[in-house]
Structure 1
Amino acid sequence: MDRGSSAAEVIIVIIPIVGIIMGSVVVFFYLLWNHKRKMLLIKAGENPRTDFDLLSFSLLAGLLLVSVGISLTVFLAIAKGAGDGLLGGIIPLSIGVGLLVFYGIQRRDKNS
């Protein structure tokens, strides 16, 4: 094995790890600053109420997960064939379908 291909393999392995770490840092600081903001609003006598639309979130997350799951499933099926690696695409696909089913059920119940 030549030196160029091993360096490329190391970079390919490191990029997802760095992405996960950076995403975790962003989420941590968002939660920390949001908590501090709410505490300051409570001390000031205001009610920090935020509206969270679960239906819109489940629709967005479901669509994103379905699209990522389909593309990963197709890519992994072509690249590796049927095997355990295919779960990397099937899992987000099934979670996305579940969220879209939840959205459909909740929307139908809300309209009734």
Structure 2
Amino acid sequence: MENLEFEKGKQFIIVEITEYIPNSVVIKTIIKKTTGNVTVVSFDSGEMLTDKISPFDTFIQVIDGKAEVIINEQSTILEVGQAIIIPAHARNSIKANIRFKMISTIIKSGYDEITL
């Protein structure tokens, strides 16, 4: 089984955590806790994460290439260094018109149970 977290106290180059694989989305977990997680994701050109709704806010930052983030049918293009927060309970998808890498951070604490 793959180690889900990187060694604490050791430096690494975030953009090198995951490689591009043809026709794939690759997800590498940096930190996984009950209160949230941090992942690095690479998307090959033409790939996407389909519509979903999360009960938590999700912070997305592009670290290579360019991403299209769609939140409640509103499209935003993010370039290297740009970020966006996908609000909790918003319908969203992420598309790779060209290949890109991103950091995704989800914080699960601080939310009350919400009935939809």
TM-score with structure 2 setting the length? 0.20
Structure with the greater relative contact order (CA < 8 A, sep ≥ 6): 1 or 2?
A: 2
Which has more helix, going by share of residues? 1
Which has more strand, going by share of residues? 2
Larger Rg: 1
